[in-house]
Amino acid sequence: MGTYPSSAIQDLYPDDFAHCFGCGRYNALGHQLKSYAEGDEVVARFMPGPQHVSVPGFVYGGLLASLVDCHAMATAAAADLAAAGVQTEVTAPRYVTAALRVDYLKPTPIGVELEIRSRVKEASEKKKVVSFSVAAHGTVTVTGEAVAVRMPKTMEQLLKT
């Protein structure tokens, strides 16, 4: 299979849906997370800033929840691209989070680049269940699962009004 698409998934979102605080390329104040397909996994790397602290020395859990949320939506979109088998880069579908579960196994040290890995566990046309982990220095500190749904038509309509 190799790596398809080679761009960050978030860079394939339509312009109208690329302002997300977590991963939008047009949100100058946001995290601008970038997630890449790697075989049957999707991988992102992120360096928290010193402000992203919880208690001294450790990363804020809310940031971790934010990163895995955006990463999981990108993972769902990547699965659709891979299933379609399109080998030229196209627009990625936009998923939204229906549910997010994050298990904080141990404190995540700050000042270390984090590696987020995910894969699709269950897939239907409109819904994906994505499992993920976050590791620091090769040690997994967070695991969890997200339920991603294709953006509902009602929401798209709201966006056009």
Number of residues that bind its own copies (CB under 8 A): 42
| Widest CA span in the chain | 46
Surface-to-core class of residue 144, CB atoms within 10 Å of its CB (0-12 exposed, 13-18 middle, 19+ buried) = buried
For 69-110, what is the HEC assignment?
A: HHHHHHHHHHHHHHHHCCCCCCCCCCEEEEEEEEEECCCCEC
Of residues 63 through 122, those in contact with its own copies by CB under 8 A are 63, 65-67, 69-70, 94, 96-104, 107
43 or 151, CB closer to its own copies? 151
Position among 6, 51, 87, 157 found at the interface with its own copies (CB under 8 A): 51
**According to the binding rule CB under 8 A, does residue 4 interact with its own copies?**
no
Q: Under rule CB under 8 A, which residues in 123-152 are in contact with its own copies?
A: 151
10 in Cβ contact with 74 (< 8 Å): yes
Measure the CA–CA gap between 14 and 2, rounded to whole angstroms. 24
Specify the stretch interacting with its own copies by CB under 8 A; choose among 3-11, 45-53, 84-92, 123-131: 45-53
- DSSP state letter for 11: G
Contacts with its own copies by CB under 8 A lie at 16-17, 19-22, 24, 27, 29-30, 51-58, 60-63, 65-67, 69-70, 94, 96-104, 107, 151, 155, 158-159
